[in-house]
Amino acid sequence: MESGPPELARTTTGLIGRLALAQLETLLAQFPAVALLGPRQVGKTTLALQLAAKRPSVYLDLEAPADRARLSDPALYLASQANKLVVLDEVQRLPELFGSLRGLIDAGRRSGQANGRFLLLGSASMELMRQSSESLAGRLAFLELGGLNLLELEPRHHEALWIRGGFPDSALAASDPASSLWREAFLRTYLERDIPQLGPRIPAETLRRFWTMLAHGQGSLFNAAALGRSLGVSGKTVSGYLDLLVDLLLVRRLQPLHANVGKRLVKAPKLYVRDSGLVHTLLGLDDREAVLGHPVAGASWEGFVLENLITCAPQRSQAWFYRTAAGAEIDLVLDLPGGHRWAIEVKRSTAPRLGKGFHQARADLEPQRCFVVHAGEERFPLHEGVEAVGAAELAAELRAL
């Protein structure tokens, strides 16, 4: 039995209404330049072209030799496009461009061309931020684009979204085998072509083994020494591998909340492969039955829910987990704008039960609201001050804030 019916591709076309479109338009109205960050194939170019179609614009792919040639004198060429939105794809490939952008933005401000001039698309977050923070401080806003989320597909396709992951070509594939083949090709291309282009000389087989270990331990605490022993490398080398996958927006490093509660707190971050479909492909799980029959199913679903909730939370929200040495734990703590704190536990069950660790953590943190996300859709009180709710409903509630 396949996890997603073939009509998924027909009911949700290639021009899915991405929630990030409205955010992108708002930021372009407020800043001269906006950087849209996300892994390759997540839909950045499609979204950018969708937005560019609404206004005079020019699109340049900095991996294309012809487009790079047009920027041999970037200041001259870009000045000639002063009345257009200039979309620069894979901008991290041309770091020397940032200095030119600063001069053009400042000149534009003096002549009354203030905002919405440049849309930068990047596949590597930290490197792009380092380059831009030096040259474009105060002139550039960042927006991250993840895979398709629960609010962008109809409810009947939500389980298929978990099984296949959120990359559009995987989620919208005509069948589970086609989706699985796409994800395998994606992994191979990243390991054999994309990562080497960024500079790191890491054997593709070694990095795949590390990525697979992270998938096996989805949601586990980072232990560099243990991972290093398994790979035959040092803990420092393992930390470098992790930095790379985090930088490429493929792994989430969820930091522990260091609350002043007088308790011994866990200090290591928890690691999640951000796309659930990649978790399953790394572990050789090609369809719903294979996923549900594997021990990783619960952790995979937890990571899928967390990624959706963090994506749908308001901008400037901060995400943490909470765990003490004594066993008090909450899967996700969201510090929202305005000083509000939500505590969220994830249970892949339609009849969730709370343990002593959750109640202790709740007493430690005193959040304004507490939720348990369960595998069903019904909303009901689970305990005094604690609501059980479906993942999509809670994502929608966060999105509405």
**Under a CB-based contact definition with an 8 Å cutoff, are residues 143 and 113 in contact?**
no
pLDDT of 198: 75
CA separation (Å) from 228 to 24, 125, 207, 232, 241? 40, 25, 12, 6, 10
Please give the backbone phi and psi of residue 178, each rounded to the nearest 5 degrees, phi first.
-65, -40
Q: How many CB atoms lie within 10 A of CB 277?
A: 28
289-343: pLDDT as tens digits: 999 999 999 999 999 999 999 999 998 999 999 999 999 999 999 999 999 999 9
Q: What is the pTM of this model?
A: 0.93
pLDDT of 128: 67
Confidence band of 346 (pLDDT split at 50, 70, 90) = very high
Alpha helices (H) along 124-262: 125-135, 158-164, 168-171, 176-189, 195-197, 204-216, 224-231, 235-247
Select from 319, 375, 380, 330 the least CA-distant residue to 355: 330
Above 90 in pLDDT, residue 108? no
243-252: pLDDT as tens digits: 999 999 999 9
73-90: pLDDT as tens digits: 999 999 999 889 999 999
Domain ranges of the chain: 20-144, 155-399
CATH fold, domain 20-144, is Rossmann fold (3.40.50)
- Averaged pLDDT score across all residues of the chain: 92
263-280: pLDDT as tens digits: 889 999 999 999 999 999
